């Protein structure tokens, strides 16, 4: 037993040895204040007088090898509300005592008393013939300390069931009143989880059967009482943000101490005023309703709790609470899943956007695919080359051209040379040795001049698949061949220009509703030209032509260098340069 009375004294068993008490410095806490309420009206009402109360001394209880320190204080021969409710023979007296306790708490609030927030195990009553004459609220910290050696179930029954650890001040006292009233009317506590963490979750989620649901008749005849109880049990803590003053940093130590004392005094006065204002704004405890119910011995039959499934509002609340708690329990996993989905979605979206901007041969005939492949060949467009071909041989061709691409970029970056451009673009730019040459000229497919800067379709255009060509239905695996002729010009180093005259046989295969270049039979003749001589000859041709017309200049230059670009290629290059602002 934690609290009991003998010979008009109250004894609180700390279940601690003398050495443990010394370490816990119990002597410093011995004079912590409780509250003694005396009923001057001798009936359930608001005629209460209050005085502070504290323990007087300590005693040592010895049982064999075990010892325990008792706190002893003069009061009365009483019994805790918890003990009254726990014994079936005194249960009805316990219900009666609860109503007196709630009445005393209401009067103490209005008297602006410092009220210890203790549960039924920390409230002692002196009762006789249905009247509670005196009530003692034990010092809060000492009572809590005495429960530390008990198990969690006992702590809940004696204290935890009646307290909301998130509340303080009058809100915490109202919660105790509401919990005691709820138990007096229903025989049950509103939050019955013995595990303190689970009980705190229930309090936070307001997971209790409201008095208005549990007893509809009571909510109609005593609406103020049900509102007070349900509202007090649903109260949440008010969050206050305290800002640090910047001016404190500039004060001297003496001035800072003086200011702290002044602020502390002002804060205490303000808190006292706030408590009074707080009470004036809160709902008064419905004492008259409790008097009527107590007079009629009104209590809630247990079967009311068993028939709650028929209450739609309660069923809706429990369903929403289940969903809320499921999300709270799995919030970490859900957050990870959402983050993964977001990242994957971003990557997929990025990939899709990139894919939509990539070239495709869908909707093109075999001639157009051949033209697209060699235009990419000429412009070192590796991505378009990959989109226009398939097969191991073509991968080797692409690897070779990738080497040219790396070489060109290396020369631009480290050797200070200009851009690398196709022959027609080089003639149109007319920048002499400032630019390097790489690409095709005099490009023909089956004897017809083809384009080196055609419009390249992308996946974003969603062209319809080609299903027939030259009046013939196409099927998977069909092949077709074209003959291409061109000059392939590129510089290797800074002294020589390589010119290859090619006549190639191109094979295309119809794969997945589109043509792709699948094989290449190459036949070429190579000629090497001194690049400095080439630059000098071109400069001389420009001077002798006495014109700025690039067509005439290149036409004259072609008499010495037959691989020079055709007029159509020059026009196409000029249009491409202007369109892309190169």
Q: Say which range, 34-43, 257-266, 460-469, has the weakest mean pLDDT.
A: 257-266
**297 Cα distance to chain centroid:** 52
Q: How confident is the model at residue 474 (pLDDT cuts 50, 70, 90)?
A: very high
224 vs 211: CA distance, rounded Å: 11
What mean pLDDT comes out for the span 421-441?
83
Dihedral over Cα of 211, 212, 215, 217: its sign: positive
Structure tokens at 401: 């051209």
Using CB atoms within 10 Å of the CB of residue 410, give its burial: 0 to 12 exposed, 13 to 18 middle, 19+ buried. exposed
Check residue 463 and report its DSSP letter.
Answer: P
Cα angle 367, 506, 373 (rounded to 5 degrees) comes to 60
**pLDDT tens readout for residues 126-138:** 988 778 889 999 9
User: pLDDT exceeding 90 applies to what percent of the chain?
Assistant: 37
What pLDDT score does 273 carry?
52
User: Is residue 169 classed as helix, strand or coil in its secondary structure?
Assistant: helix
**pLDDT tens readout for residues 225-272:** 888 888 999 887 665 544 444 444 444 444 555 555 556 555 555 555
Check residue 564 and report its DSSP letter.
Answer: S
Q: How confident is the model at residue 49 (pLDDT cuts 50, 70, 90)?
A: very high
533 vs 523: CA distance, rounded Å: 27
Check residue 120 and report its DSSP letter.
Answer: G
Res 557 pLDDT > 90: yes
- Other CB atoms within a 10 A radius of the CB of residue 306 amount to 8
**pLDDT tens readout for residues 313-342:** 667 777 787 888 888 888 888 899 999 999
- CB–CB of 45/287 below 8 Å? yes
302 vs 308: CA distance, rounded Å: 11
Q: Provide the whole-model pTM.
A: 0.57
**pLDDT tens readout for residues 57-78:** 888 888 777 888 889 999 999 9
31 vs 194: CA distance, rounded Å: 31
Q: Residue with structure tokens 């899709």? A: 352
Q: How confident is the model at residue 303 (pLDDT cuts 50, 70, 90)?
A: very low
What mean pLDDT comes out for the span 204-229?
80
Res 46 pLDDT > 70: no
What mean pLDDT comes out for the span 470-478?
91
What pLDDT score does 256 carry?
54
What is the overall mean pLDDT for the chain? 83
Side-chain half-sphere of 107: how many Cα atoms within 13 Å? Answer: 23
341 vs 488: CA distance, rounded Å: 49
Structure tokens at 378: 């000429």
Buried b / exposed e along 168-181 (16+ C-beta atoms within 10 A): ebbbbbbbbbbbbb
User: Is residue 69 classed as helix, strand or coil in its secondary structure?
Assistant: strand
What mean pLDDT comes out for the span 105-110?
89
**pLDDT tens readout for residues 368-399:** 999 999 999 999 899 999 999 999 999 998 99
- All structural domains of the chain with their residue ranges: 3-16+31-238+252-329, 360-579
Check residue 432 and report its DSSP letter.
Answer: G
- Reported residue count of the chain is 582
Read off φ and ψ for residue 79, nearest 5 degrees.
Answer: -145, 150
**pLDDT tens readout for residues 494-548:** 788 999 999 999 999 999 889 999 999 999 999 999 988 998 999 999 999 888 8
Buried b / exposed e along 424-435 (16+ C-beta atoms within 10 A): bbbbbbeeeeeb
């Amino acid at each position: 037993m934690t609290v009991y009375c003998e010979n008009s004294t109250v004894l609180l068993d700390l279940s601690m040895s003398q050495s443990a008490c010394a370490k816990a410095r119990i002597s410093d806490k011995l004079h912590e204040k409780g509250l003694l309420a005396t009923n001057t009206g001798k009936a359930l009402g608001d005629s209460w007088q209050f005085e502070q109360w504290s323990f007087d001394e300590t005693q040592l209880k010895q049982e064999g090898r075990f010892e325990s320190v008792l706190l002893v204080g003069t009061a009365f021969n009483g019994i805790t509300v918890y003990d009254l409710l726990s014994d079936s023979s005194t249960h009805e007296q316990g219900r009666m005592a609860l109503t007196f306790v709630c009445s005393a708490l209401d009067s103490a609030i209005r008297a602006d008393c410092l009220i210890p927030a203790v549960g039924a195990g920390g409230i002692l009553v002196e009762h006789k013939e249905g009247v509670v004459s005196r009530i003692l609220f034990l010092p809060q910290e000492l009572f809590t300390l005495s429960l530390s050696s008990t198990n969690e179930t006992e702590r809940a029954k004696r204290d935890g069931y009646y307290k909301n650890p998130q509340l303080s001040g009058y809100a915490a006292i109202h919660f105790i009143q509401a919990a005691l009233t709820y138990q007096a009317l229903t025989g049950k506590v509103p939050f019955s989880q013995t595990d303190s963490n689970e009980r705190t979750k229930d309090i936070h989620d307001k997971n209790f059967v409201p008095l208005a649901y549990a007893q509809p008749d009571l909510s109609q005849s005593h609406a103020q009482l049900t509102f007070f109880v349900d509202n007090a049990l649903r109260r949440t803590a008010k969050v206050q943000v305290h800002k640090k003053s910047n001016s404190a940093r500039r004060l001297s130590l003496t001035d800072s101490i003086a200011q702290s004392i002044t602020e502390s005094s002002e804060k205490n006065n303000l808190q006292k005023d706030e408590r009074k204002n707080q009470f004036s704004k809160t709902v008064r405890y419905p004492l008259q309703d409790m008097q009527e119910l107590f007079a009629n011995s009104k209590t809630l039959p247990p079967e009311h709790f068993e028939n709650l499934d028929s209450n739609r509002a309660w069923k809706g609340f429990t369903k929403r609470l289940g969903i809320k708690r499921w999300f709270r329990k799995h919030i970490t996993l859900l957050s990870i899943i959402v983050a993964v989905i977001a990242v994957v979605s971003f990557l997929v979206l990025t990939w899709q956007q990139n894919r939509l901007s990539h070239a495709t041969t869908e909707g093109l005939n075999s001639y157009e695919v051949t033209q697209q492949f060699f235009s990419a060949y000429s412009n070192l467009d590796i991505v378009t080359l990959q989109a226009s071909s398939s097969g191991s041989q073509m991968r080797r061709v692409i690897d070779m051209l990738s080497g040219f691409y790396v070489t060109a970029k290396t020369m631009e970056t480290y050797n200070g040379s200009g851009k690398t451009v196709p022959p027609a673009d080089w003639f149109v730019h007319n920048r002499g040795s400032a630019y390097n040459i790489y690409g095709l000229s005099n490009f023909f497919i089956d004897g017809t001049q083809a384009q080196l800067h055609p419009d390249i379709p992308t996946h974003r255009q969603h062209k319809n698949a080609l299903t027939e060509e030259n009046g013939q239905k196409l099927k998977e695996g069909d092949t077709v061949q074209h003959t291409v002729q061109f000059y392939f010009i590129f510089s290797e180093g800074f002294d020589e220009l390589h010119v290859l005259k090619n006549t190639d046989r191109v094979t295309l295969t119809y794969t997945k509703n589109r043509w792709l270049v699948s094989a290449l039979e190459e036949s070429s003749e190579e000629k090497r030209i001194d690049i400095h001589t080439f630059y000098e000859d071109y400069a001389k041709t420009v001077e002798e032509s006495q014109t700025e017309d690039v067509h005439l200049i290149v036409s004259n230059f072609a008499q010495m260098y037959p691989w020079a670009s055709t007029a159509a290629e020059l026009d196409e290059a000029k249009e491409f340069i202007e369109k892309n602002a190169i």
